[in-house]
Structure 1
Amino acid sequence: MADLNRVLVLAGGLSPEHEVSVRSGRRVAEALRRLGVEVQTCDVGPGLLGTMSADPPQVVFPVLHGTSGEDGAIREVLELSGVPYVGARPDACRVAYAKPIAKTLVAERGVAVPRGLALPKSLFHDLGAPAVLERIVAMLGLPLFVKPDQGGSAFGAAAVNDASELPSALVGCFAYSDTALIEQQVKGTEIAVGVLDLGDGPVALPAVEIVPDGGVYDYAARYTAGRTEFFSPARLSEEVARAAADAAVTVHRTLGLRDVSRTDLIVDGSGRVYFLEVNVSPGMTGTSTLPLAVESAGMDFAVVCRELAHRALLRG
C-alpha cells in the first residue's frame, strides 16, 4: 500500500469565502501534520502550477469554497496536471454548485425540496420588476427565501416574510450572482449532514442541528464563535434522523460526488426532511459542522483527513 507523505492543501481563492477557506485549510494542514504528514499550503494564483511542477505533491487536498473552489474549475486544472486530489470530479462539482439543477435531480430521486423558481436579473429589467414580483408572491406565497443560484456561506441569502422585503432581498442576491433562486421558506429544524466515503461507500455522519442566535444562520452566525449553538447529534427522533441520513447519501450518490460532502436540510413540523443544498468542499473551521459531525461519530478529524488524502493517492 502506498505511503502518504506529502500533501498540498489548497486554500484561499478569490471568492468572498476566501477567509473561511484559509481557516479551513489551516485546520486541515495542522491535522495532517499532527499525524506526521508533510504539508505545504498554497493559495490559488499564478504560481500554483509552477509550485506543483517544481515540487510535485503526492496529493492535493482542496479546501476552496465558492467560485473556482466548488464549481469544478480548479479540479479541471488538477485533472490536466495529473495530480490526485481529494473530493468530487469537475463534472459533479458543476452540477452540485448549480443549486437549481442539483435541486431538480435530487427531487427526481424522491427527496423533498422546497417549491421555487430560478430567475435571472435581466428578466426583472426586461419584463418590469413590479409585475414579476407580484406573480412570484401570488404563486409561491409567503414567507420566501432568496439566495444566489451558486455560492455559499449565506452570501446574498435572505428570508422574506413580507412582500415589501422581496425587492431588497433580490438586490442583495444579485450582488453575488446574476440568477436568484426564490423558494418557499420551510419552517423547522435546520440540520447539516456530512457524508464520508473512506472506501466502503458513502456513509452519513450524525446530523448536526443548527440553532443560530437570532434565528438567522448568516455569515456571522456561521463563523463567529458563540453566535450559533450546535447539537451533535441533532435532537431528532430515530426515524427522522434515519430519513435525514438517507437523504444526504441519496444526494451524494445522485450528484456523483466523491470522498466527502455536506448536505444542508431542514425538518418541518411534521418530520419531513427537505433538501436545501449540498457542498462539495465543506467548511473545516472550528465552527463548521463537518468536523463536529466527525467528532460526534467518535472519529478523529486528523485521521479522517489522512484517510481522505490516502484514498486519493490510491486512486492516482
Structure 2
Amino acid sequence: MSASAFAPLRCTDPAAFGRVAVLMGGSSSEREVSLDSGRNVLEALQSRGVDAHAVDGIPALVDALVHGRFDRVFNILHGGDGENGVLQGLLQGFEIPCTGSGVLGSALSMDKIRTKQVWISAGLPTPQFVRLAPGADLRAAALELGLPVFVKPSSEGSSVGVARVLAEADIDAAIEVARGYGGEMLMEQMVVGDELTVGVLGEVALPSIRIVPKGEWYDYNAKYIAEDTQYLCPGLEGENEAAIRTLALAAFRAAGCSGWGRIDVMRDRASGELLLLEVNTAPGMTSHSLVPKAARELGVSFEELCWRILEQTL
C-alpha cells in the first residue's frame, strides 16, 4: 500500500471547517496524555489556518455549544466519557459533527470484553479470556485460564491498571490492582511474541508498527515517557504485512468504528498467528504516538494527518 491509497483532500479551504473545538484534558486517568495530544493537534490545525480553539473537558464544551461557539469538534479526549459514547451521544443531540467513531463504535470498543465477544462472533482471532465481575475469585480464574495472564480493567486505556500474573506468586498483587478499580476486569491469556499496532484512517489501514520496548513490557512508562522504545515501521513484511492490515480493518469495522483509530495486535512467536487485543477510537497524538508515525511512512505529515481526520466531519 502506498500514499496513493489516500483519496485527494476533500477541501483545501480552512474556512470550510468553521470554528473548531479541540476537545482535550477532561477528568479521566488519561488527562495528561490527552492535554499533550490536544496541544499538538491544536498547533497543527492552526498552522494550516483552521480557526481551532482548545476546550478542556466536556462541561466546558457543553457551555460553549449552548452559546453556539463551535461548528465541529476534534475529539482528542482520551478515555472515560470522551471515548465511551457519552460525548458522541451529546454531540449527536447538538447536531455537531465530531471526529472519530459514533455512539455505538465508541461505547463498544471502550469495553474490551464486549469487543472481544463481537470479534469472536465474527470469527476474528483474539486471545482466550474470562470476564471478572467485581468481587470475582481472581485466583481461581487465573489457574483455570492458565498462567501467564494479564489482568486489566475492561474500560481503561493507556496500559492503566494492568497487572501481569506470570506465576501463582503474582496473583495477590493482581487482586490488589482489581480492588483499586472496583469494576469489571478482563483476564486475558498472555501471548508471547511481537506487539504490533495498526492505525486506521478512513478506509485505509496504515503500515503496522512493531513495538520493541527497552524493558520487558510496553507499559505506561514505555509508551509516554521513555525515549528508548523502538518503533519499527512497517512492523511486518510481504504477505504478513498485508494480512495484519486486512485483519485490522475487519476488526475496526466489526466493532462499529469509523473515522480513525488504532488496533492493537499480538503475533504469537511460535505459531505466527495474529491475535486482536483492543481498539482505540481516540489514539494519542503525542511525540511518542503511533498513528502519526505510521502516517509519516506514507508521506503524510502530522499537519496533514490532523487535517484529514477533521475533514471526515464535513
Verify same fold: TM over 0.5: yes
Query: 2:272 is matched by which residue type in structure 1?
Result: G
Alignment partner of 1:286 is 2:287: yes
Instruction: State the Cα deviation string for residues 31-50 of structure 1 (Å, max 9, x = none).
Output: 11111111101011543222
How far apart are residue 177 of structure 1 and its match? 4.8
The equivalences for 1:257-276 within 5 A come to 257-269=257-269, 270-276=271-277
Q: Deviations over 1:30-87 (max 9, x none)?
A: 1111111111010115432222233532210010111111111111111111111111
User: 142, 151, 154: which is aligned to 2:147?
Assistant: 142
Residue 225 (structure 1) shift: 4.2
Q: CA deviation at 1:232?
A: 1.5
Alpha-carbon separation, structure 1, partners of 2:210 and 2:217: 13
Query: What is the TM-score with the length of structure 1 in the denominator?
Result: 0.90
2:30 is equivalent to residue 25 of structure 1: no
Q: What is the letter of the counterpart of residue 24 of structure 1?
A: S
Please, which runs of 5 or more residues in structure 1 have no aligned partner?
A: 125-131
When normalised by structure 2's length, the TM-score is 0.91
Q: 1:1-316 counterparts in 2 under 5 A? A: 3-124=16-137, 133=139, 135-197=140-202, 202-234=203-235, 236-269=236-269, 270-312=271-313, 314=314
SS of 1:287's partner is coil
Classify the secondary structure of the residue corresponding to 2:152. strand
Q: Is the 8 A contact 2:142 2:187 kept in 1?
A: no
Counterpart-to-counterpart distance in 1, 2:178 and 2:161: 4
The verdict on how the C-alpha distance between 1:174 and 1:205 changes in structure 2, with shifts beyond 3 A counting, is farther
Mark the CA change 1:160 to 1:38 in structure 2 (over 3 Å): closer, same or farther.
same
AA matched with 2:167: D
- Residues 87-131 of structure 1: per-residue CA shift (max 9 Å, x gap): 11112211111111101111222221111101112233xxxxxxx
Residue 174 of structure 1 contacts residue 180 of structure 1 at CA under 8 Å; is this kept in 2?
A: no
Asked if the contact 2:130/2:145 (under 8 Å) is kept, the reply is no
CA distance in 1, matches of 2:142, 2:256: 34
CA distance in 1, matches of 2:122, 2:182: 27
Structure 1 counterpart of 2:193, one-letter code = G
Instruction: Sort the Cα spacing of 1:252 and 1:45 in 2 relative to 1 into closer, same or farther, 3 A.
Output: closer
Deviations 1:277-308 (A, max 9, x none): 11011111110111111111221221121122
AA at the equivalent of 1:178? G
For structure 2, which runs of at least 5 residues remain unmatched after alignment?
Answer: 1-10
**AA matched with 1:29:** L
3-state SS of 1:68 partner:
helix
| Cα 1:293–1:174 shift into 2, 3 Å | farther
How many residue pairs get aligned? The number is 300
Provide the identity percentage.
36
Code of the aligned partner of 1:271: G
- CA apart distance, 1:15: 0.6
What CA RMSD, in Å, does the superposition of the two structures yield over aligned residues? 1.6
Structure 2 CA distance for aligned equivalents of residues 158 and 289 of structure 1 = 23
**Higher alpha-carbon deviation: 41-50 or 114-123:** 41-50
Q: What secondary structure sits across from 2:80 in the alignment?
A: coil
CA distance in 2, matches of 1:161, 1:106: 26
In the alignment, is the contact (CA less than 8 A) between 1:21 and 1:63 conserved in 2? yes
8 Å CA contact 1:157–1:173 kept in 2: the answer is: no
What's the CA shift for 1:20?
A: 0.3
SS at match of 1:175: helix
Q: Summarize deviations over 1:236-275 as a string: whole Å, max 9, x none.
A: 2322212211111011111111110100001111221000
The amino acid of 1:212's aligned partner reads P
